[in-house]
Structure 1
Amino acid sequence: MSQKILSNKNNLLVLFEDNHIIIVNKRAGDIVQGDKTGDKPLSDVVKEYIKDKYNKPGNVYLGIVHRLDRPTTGLVIFAKTSKALPRLNKLFLSKDIKKTYWAIVKNEPPKHEDTLIHWLKKNPKNNKSKAYIKEASGSKKAILHYKVIKKLDNYFLLEVNLETGRHHQIRVQLSSIGCPIKGDLKYGFDRSNKDASISLHARHIEFIHPVKKEAVSINAPLPEDAIWNACLV
């Protein structure tokens, strides 16, 4: 069941909002935080939304808690208060925020369900990570769990849960077992998606609200695409 969209103004898909937190459904191509491209980041769009909605004078506070790769879609959490930001950061560090991803891959994984352990090393020159079976100089341990949840006509839908949060972790680890994500040219898929996205979606998130101490559980609606639509049939 998809989460209700609270707002779709200016292409900002707001899925949850209270005094301390706002959670949005990122589109492919959006960048969470400003970078060298100079493109307008999602954080600025969220600030404008808050400023407009609440008629706030001056600057709007917004804390960036985590990021998603530019071609990836799905849930992104922002802190609306300086009280919430360090508490959300702490939840991420202690792994008390559970994030579930969906990934569409071309090839069937070696196992229906498995845990992948690699050591990843980032190359900043090409913004790409490489997976090693054993620890290598400058590498970081990466652990994820996956399972096949649906067989599509020409693809497989995987559910992925991360134990660690490394650079391009899901992309490089799935590619290392012969299952590059649909559209991900950087990690071995043979052709791009039409919208330059990759078929990796931050689908579900759950945690205890750091201020209200209430359970928060959010599903991100899937991108409007024939193959993603087939995942829900």
Structure 2
Amino acid sequence: MVQQADAVRRVPLSRDRVLRAAVALADDAGIESLNMRRLAQELGVVPMALYKHVANKDQLLDGMVDVIVGEIHPPVHGADWKSAVRQRILSARRALLRHPWASRVIESRVTPTPVVLEYMDSVIGMFRTGGFSVDLTHHVMHAMGSRILGFTQELFGNTPSVDPETQAVMLREMAGKYPYVAEIAIAASHDEESVVGSGCDDQFEFELALDLLLDGFERLQQQGWTSTDQARRGDST
């Protein structure tokens, strides 16, 4: 064990090593456990040594996001725009699923890093080179939202697991006040690992929504849709 720790200390400290160690620590112990002192212990250095590579916690988190985005597969050359976008976004989702804490960190960032901007630029470029106008692409990006980076904010959030009997009582009570919500909850038969507990198959729902959006974008592109025309139609109603 001592020899192993000495070997870790002998590896030169670098920004990349610091960031990857931080990602590994967040994966193993949760993002809440991450601080400079704990990270320094993992690397076998004094905390001050970290500040030569990351100025503060925010810079550390930005760099960790860059590591995750760096795991997203590059665009598929020669593929049509829809296939290329779909494959890129599903690769982003796989990266996010490997690091469950990452979506919260991405949402907390105020300014995107150059790595994130480069990724977004490449996705935008797939639509533009696929024949989409600047106008339509602008609205496409709004519609896609965080799905571009492989995650969405789930409607029901995290629900604590309960035993079947208690769940049945909760559903009966819900049905009296919120019949349509209860109807959906009762009808669904889903994975235990879903964000809604006995709720939706998250991967299926993500891909369904992605495919619906891409099909809709394709139809608008083929129709020569513009926001100006849409605004005019709205004014005439």
Q: TM-score range by the shorter chain?
A: under 0.3
Q: Which has the higher contact order (CA 8 A, sep 6+)?
A: 1
The structure whose residues are more often strand, as a share, is 1
With the length of structure 2 as denominator, give the TM-score of the two structures: 0.26
With the length of structure 1 as denominator, give the TM-score of the two structures: 0.27
Larger Rg: 2
The structure whose residues are more often helix, as a share, is 2
